[in-house]
Amino acid sequence: MATTNAPLSGKVAVITGSARNMGRAFAVALARLGADISVHHHGTASKSDAEETARLVREHGTRTIIVDGDLTDTKVVKHLFEATLGAFGRVDIVINNAGLVIKKPFTDISEAEFDRSFGINAKAAFFVMQEAARCIADNGRIINMGTTILGATIPFYSVYAGAKAALEDFTRALARDIGGRGVTVNVVAPGPINDPFYHGAETPESVARATTASVVGRLGHIEDIVPVIEFLALPQSQWITAQTLFINGGYLAR
């Protein structure tokens, strides 16, 4: 167990898509603050990464489990929360981080690609929020990972931005529904982040354009987003709910 003076000691966090990139960083950050972590990933390709995330969590003296599954299946969503409750007895923080980028011209997007994008970015996110609302302790925290593209017109991101746009309405609705229990629900919308998730859909030219678009002339780093997640997970963030927080170095203001 984490030391009792850690601010999240005794709390439990469920983090979807936490095998690598931002999800891993969030898991390690909340473990450092004392939380036990339910690490979620999907498939054999990310199994070793999820195990490494769990190892990094345990280095901070907190407990962890690993849950594998496709969150577009609502039975898997239920299993994720049931496994977490079975292991730790409670859920206090949920970070809805799993996502999928499809970057193509509007007219080239197939029905299968549309379904995949909305399946993970909208459907899975919705049912994770729904199950979180059923399981989360009073004064809990639900943090949905959106994108700065929600407020911008970026070429070829139509199906990704459209699927992520649903998160804002889901967030406002759920914040109203369960706010009386002290549970906050917010969207964090990063700008372009210098990690494999971002670069996988980009070209050198598009990366160069994004780099010059921020006021400091660089891409974001995962470390730029982690402090926002940490704060939203803490009791001191109680007055922030139903919001979308754009974290992008001035790439976009809304």
Domain ranges of the chain: 12-191+224-243
Whether 3 shows a pLDDT value over 60: the answer reads: no
Average pLDDT rounded to a whole number, residues 195-202: 78
Q: Check residue 4 and give its pLDDT.
A: 59
Residue 194 pLDDT grade (very low, low, confident, very high; cuts 50, 70, 90): confident
Residue with tokens 């977490």: 84
Whether 71 shows a pLDDT value over 80: the answer reads: yes
CATH superfamily label, 12-191+224-243:
NAD(P)-binding Rossmann-like Domain (3.40.50.720)
**Catalytic residue among 157, 160, 198, 251, which?**
160
Count other C-beta atoms under 10 Å from residue 167's C-beta: 24
As a whole number of angstroms, the distance between CA 167 and CA 228 comes to 18
Does 160 qualify as catalytic in the annotation? yes
Question: Worst-scoring range by mean pLDDT, 106-110, 114-118, 141-145, 246-250?
Answer: 246-250
Quick: pLDDT tens for 139-191. 999 999 999 998 888 889 999 999 999 999 999 999 999 999 999 999 999 98
Torsion of CA 225, 228, 229, 233, to 10 degrees: 170
Partnered with residue 185 across adjacent β-strands are 142
